Amino acid sequence: MKKTTLIIRGQPAPQGGSHHGWHHPTRPVVIRNMQGEVIARLGEEQGCTDDLDIEKDVILYSTDFLAMNAPELGHTCMHLLCTAGEGSFVFNERCYHIVKNDLVVLPNPTRAKNLAAAPGMEVEWFAADEKYLHSLLPSNNYSIGGSISLNQNPVIKVDDRQAEILLEDLHRLRDRLHDRHLLFYREMMGSLCLTMMYDIFELHARRDATDTHSDRTAIIVRQLTDLLATGISRTERDVSYYAERLNVSTKYLSATVKRVTGHSVSSFIDRAMVPILKKYLNNERLSLTQIADRMNFTSLSYFSRYCTKHLGQSPSDYRRSLQPRG
C-alpha cells in the first residue's frame, strides 16, 4: 500500500463511558508526512509544530476513526466508510451507532462528539476543504438540498457492492496524494473528488427518495433550495430578498436554515452562485466588466473581491489558470 502525504493518527486510550472496552480519543493527534516526520500536533494548546494548511494540503486521508473531529478540520467535509467492527459518535445531540458498510458524511466534522470505537473497528476517510469541494461542482443544487437530510442524519447505509465502489474511489484519491509534482495535480485530484461525490450523491438521493420532511422548517428550507435552483443567485445575493420571496422574516429564515442544515443562508446562496460565476469566467468572449454587470455587482472591484473570496484567486488569475501551462 502506498503511503499518503498526510495521515492523521490519534492516540486512543480506554476510558469510562457507555461502551465498556471501547476506545475514546485523547490528545495529541499527530499529522505526519510521507517520511513519518511529525509536522503538526492537533488539539494541543501549546507546542504545536505547525498549522494544518488545508489550502496546500487540499485532501487528507486516514484510517483513524478517533481523529476525524480534530479541531483543525472544522472547514472540511468528511467522508468516512466503516469497513469492519462498530463505533459511535454524537451529532446534533443524537447518538449514532455505525457498523460495517455505513457511510458517514459530515460537513465540519468537529461537530461530532463523544467518539468511541470498539476493538476491531476499521474505517477509511478523506476530508477536503468544503469550499474547494463546492467549487468543483457544476450548477447542480442537489448538494445544497442534500445538506438538509445529512444534518438530520449523516449516516447512509450501503450494500457490499456500493461499499466496494466507494473504497475504489477512496483508494484512487489516496494513491495519487503523493503526485504533487504534477502540473495538473489540483485538477486531477478535483476530478477524482468529483467521481466520489457523484457516487455519494447517488446513494444519498436514493435514501432521500424514501424520506419525507413535512414539518414547516424543512419545507421552508426546501423552498429556499428550489428558489436557488432557478439560478436567481446570479443577481440576488441578499438574504432579505429570499426571505421576502418566501414570505418570512429575514431573522426567521436565517435561524431556520441554520438549525435545519447547520449552514447559513448566505453560504447556500454562495454555493449556488459559484458554478454560475465559473461558467461566465470560462467564457472568454465575456469581459470581466460584462460579467460583473450581468451578475449585478455594483463595481468591478467588488466583483474581484467576491471572486477572490470564493474562488481563492482574482478573476484574472482564475482565467490565467485555465490556460495551458508551458
Chain segment 154-198, per-residue pLDDT in tens? 899 999 999 999 999 999 998 888 888 888 888 888 899 989 988
Paired strand residues for 23: 14, 117
28 preceded by cis ω (within 30°)? yes
Report yes or no: 96 and 133 within 8 Å, Cβ to Cβ. no
Angle CA 260–262–268, to nearest 5: 90
Please report, in tens digits, the pLDDT of each residue of the chain (326 residues total).
Answer: 333 334 333 333 333 344 545 555 544 444 443 334 444 454 444 333 334 444 444 678 888 898 888 888 888 889 999 999 999 999 988 899 999 999 999 888 998 999 999 999 999 998 988 878 877 776 554 555 566 667 778 899 999 999 999 999 999 998 888 888 888 888 888 899 989 988 988 887 777 665 555 567 778 888 888 888 888 999 999 999 999 999 899 999 999 888 877 788 998 899 888 889 999 999 999 999 999 999 999 999 999 999 998 888 899 998 988 776 65
Closest CA to 199 of 174, 168, 173: 168
Q: For the whole model, what pTM was predicted?
A: 0.64
Q: Cα–Cα distances in Å, from 85 out to 64, 122, 273?
A: 13, 6, 41
Packing angle, helices 300-311 and 265-281, rounded to 10: 110
Give the span between the Cα atoms of 116 and 302, in whole angstroms.
47
Which strands make up the sheet holding 23-24, listed edge to edge? 13-14, 23-24, 113-117, 86-91, 94-99
Q: What share of the chain is helix, strand, coil (3-state, %, to 5)?
A: 45, 20, 35
Q: Which three cell numbers stand for residue 304?
A: 474581484
Q: In whole numbers, what is the pLDDT of the chain averaged over residues?
A: 78
The yes/no answer on whether domain 216-321 falls in CATH 1.10.10.60 is yes
**What is the residue extent of each domain of the chain?**
7-209, 216-321
Q: Which three cell numbers stand for residue 109?
A: 466534522
Second-level CATH architecture of 7-209: Sandwich (2.60)
Give the span between the Cα atoms of 282 and 26, in whole angstroms.
47
DSSP 141: T
Using left for φ > 0, alpha for ψ between -120 and 50, and beta otherwise, residue 252 falls in: alpha
